[in-house]
């Protein structure tokens, strides 16, 4: 094809896109200030580049300084309004499904499945959410502590066997994946877990890649991994469906069995595709964000002796109390509730470095906020750092101060601290993550000593924030005195 012909095609495509784009905003007379960027790609490239360099906050702040806390842009091929601030968080995250629907970019939906809970709304969303919540309620969580303790202990001992250096990021990813498979999905076979884990890591890398389909691209590999996950899960799913029908298995056994037993408004069963999609999204949500948090906490403890000493003291006090009482070796729900300072450290890490940068929602009808119109079909995006680093909410926001989350401290306004989201679509697994985080940190600090291989290791964000070198540490059993 000649350069002239190619240029003509590009010009035609750009013209058609712009025509559609302008039609999309027709009738909106007071759009927020901002730039829609280039035809087709908008500001997607600069948005993703900043995100990967851990400069997403700077990208947002530059535009807030120029246009204000409500501005328009175009990312992932869709016109977007970005809203920063508590009022904006409440407007977007607290609105009903009639106004906004969860709107993950199509490239992400293709990887995670169009029927996953984050894509659902209305009665279907409530149906699936109730099923998942039945495994994440306090009475269920209390029963998970002992098994989590066993899995963490076994995994740590296995990891350090015959070696004195481990990469914390990789270890935490494997650990949290194993815990989710075992406790939530009753998948205990190590070979099966390993196979799933490998494909989920490929899938997760694809989430932060540019959505170009060609052989060998990260995105294409992610789609292939997604297909393998589905093919591997279907035999498990069908076996459990048969066991449910014969009474061998109860719907309370695991999340997959519970989803298979669901009935919709017309008594129709949930489809296999819906089960596969929600298996995938729950496994991603229940292991990767917790692995991020654990890696960041260990990174902080490795760099800050004062914080480490306080966490160690709290955890050793709990251990000594258990030993003095001569009670069972495994942690209990009561022990978890005593780990107040350790969880405050985790909360402060999530304030300064949120595991999830922001949330996309789609406007289902014309609406307005802050005096500006938001047209139907546009997406809106809220960012956690916009309020997490607001000095009027968190004094000296650049300082690491876990005491902000002490109950005696100044109350944090609703919708100001949103590492787990907020409103109707807040994360349903936040308590599961808390228990797993505290159990793991308890075992790590009370049973082992470690030092970072790279004391000056920084945090990088490739879809999500992680220590840039994988956080290798030299580790050895703690000598008990």
CATH number (domain holding residue 148): 1.10.630.10
- The answer on 151 and 86 residing in a single domain is yes
* pLDDT computed for residue 409 by the predictor: 76
- pLDDT (tens digit per residue) in 353-396: 998 888 888 888 999 999 999 999 999 999 998 999 999 999 99
Please state the domain count of the chain: 2
Eight-class DSSP state of 460: E
* pLDDT computed for residue 313 by the predictor: 98
- The answer on 148 and 18 residing in a single domain is no
- pLDDT (tens digit per residue) in 426-440: 888 899 999 999 999
- The answer on 287 and 352 residing in a single domain is yes
- The answer on 84 and 19 residing in a single domain is no
Q: Which residues carry a binding-site annotation? A: 427
- The answer on 119 and 5 residing in a single domain is no
Helix or strand holding residue 98 (H, E): none
- The answer on 331 and 272 residing in a single domain is yes
> pLDDT below 50 — which residues of the chain?
3, 5-8, 10-12, 14-15, 18, 22, 26
Q: Which residues carry a binding-site annotation for heme? A: 427
Domain of 18 in residue numbering reads as 1-27
Instruction: Return phi, psi of residue 464, to 5°.
Output: -140, 160
- The answer on 42 and 3 residing in a single domain is no
* pLDDT computed for residue 56 by the predictor: 84
- The answer on 338 and 210 residing in a single domain is yes
- The answer on 50 and 20 residing in a single domain is no
The maximal CA–CA distance of the chain, rounded, in angstroms, is 83
CB 450 within 8 A of CB 471: no
* pLDDT computed for residue 6 by the predictor: 45
pTM, entire model? 0.88
* pLDDT computed for residue 131 by the predictor: 87
CB 122 within 8 A of CB 91: no
* pLDDT computed for residue 229 by the predictor: 94
- The answer on 58 and 20 residing in a single domain is no
* pLDDT computed for residue 330 by the predictor: 85
* pLDDT computed for residue 2 by the predictor: 53
Distance in angstroms (rounded) separating the CA atoms of residues 436 and 144: 9
* pLDDT computed for residue 40 by the predictor: 77
Q: Is 371 helix (H, G, I), strand (E, B) or coil?
A: coil
- The answer on 21 and 125 residing in a single domain is no
- The answer on 10 and 138 residing in a single domain is no
* pLDDT computed for residue 15 by the predictor: 46
């Amino acid at each position: 094809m000649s350069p002239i012909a190619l240029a003509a095609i590009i010009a035609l495509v750009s013209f058609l896109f712009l025509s559609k784009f302008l039609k999309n905003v027709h009738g909106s007379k007071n759009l927020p200030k901002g730039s829609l960027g280039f035809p087709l790609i908008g500001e997607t490239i600069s948005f993703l580049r900043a995100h990967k360099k851990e400069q997403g906050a700077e990208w947002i702040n530059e535009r807030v300084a120029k246009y204000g806390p409500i501005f328009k842009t175009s990312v992932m091929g869709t016109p977007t309004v970005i809203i920063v601030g508590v009022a904006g968080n409440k407007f977007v995250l607290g609105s009903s499904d009639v106004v906004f629907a969860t709107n993950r970019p199509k490239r992400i939906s293709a990887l995670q499945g169009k029927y996953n809970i984050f894509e659902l709304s209305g009665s279907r969303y409530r149906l699936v959410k109730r099923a998942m919540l039945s495994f994440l309620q306090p009475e269920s969580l209390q029963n998970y502590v002992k098994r989590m303790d066993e899995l963490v202990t076994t995994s740590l001992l296995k990891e350090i066997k015959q070696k004195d250096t481990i990469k914390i990021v990789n270890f935490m990813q494997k650990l949290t994946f194993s815990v989710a498979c075992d406790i939530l999905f009753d998948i205990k076979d190590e070979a099966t877990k390993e196979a799933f884990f490998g494909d989920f890591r490929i899938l997760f890398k694809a989430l932060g890649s540019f959505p170009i389909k060609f052989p060998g691209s990260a995105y294409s590999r992610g789609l292939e991994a997604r297909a393998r996950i589905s093919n591997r899960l279907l035999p498990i799913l069908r076996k459990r469906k048969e066991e449910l029908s014969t009474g061998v298995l109860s719907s309370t056994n695991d999340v997959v069995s519970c989803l298979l037993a669901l009935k919709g408004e017309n008594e129709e069963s949930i489809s296999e595709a819906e089960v596969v999609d929600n298996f995938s999204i729950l496994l991603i949500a229940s292991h990767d964000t917790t692995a991020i948090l654990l890696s960041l906490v260990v990174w902080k403890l490795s760099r800050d002796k004062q914080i480490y000493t306080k966490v160690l003291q709290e955890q050793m006090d709990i251990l000594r109390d258990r030993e003095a009482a001569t009670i069972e070796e495994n942690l209990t729900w009561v022990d978890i509730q005593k780990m107040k300072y350790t969880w405050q450290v985790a909360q402060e890490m999530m304030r300064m470095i949120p595991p999830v940068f922001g949330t996309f929602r789609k406007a289902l009808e014309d609406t307005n906020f802050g005096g500006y119109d938001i047209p139907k079909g546009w997406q809106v995006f809220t960012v956690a750092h916009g309020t997490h680093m607001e000095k009027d909410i968190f004094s000296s926001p650049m300082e690491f101060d876990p005491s902000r989350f002490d109950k005696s401290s100044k109350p944090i306004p609703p919708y100001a601290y949103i590492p787990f989201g907020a409103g109707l679509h807040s994360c349903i697994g936040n308590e599961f993550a808390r228990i797993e985080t505290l159990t793991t940190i308890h075992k790590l600090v009370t049973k082992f000593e470690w030092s970072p291989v790279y004391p000056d290791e920084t945090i990088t964000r490739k879809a999500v924030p992680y220590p840039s070198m994988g956080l290798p540490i030299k580790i050895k059993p703690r000598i008990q005195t």
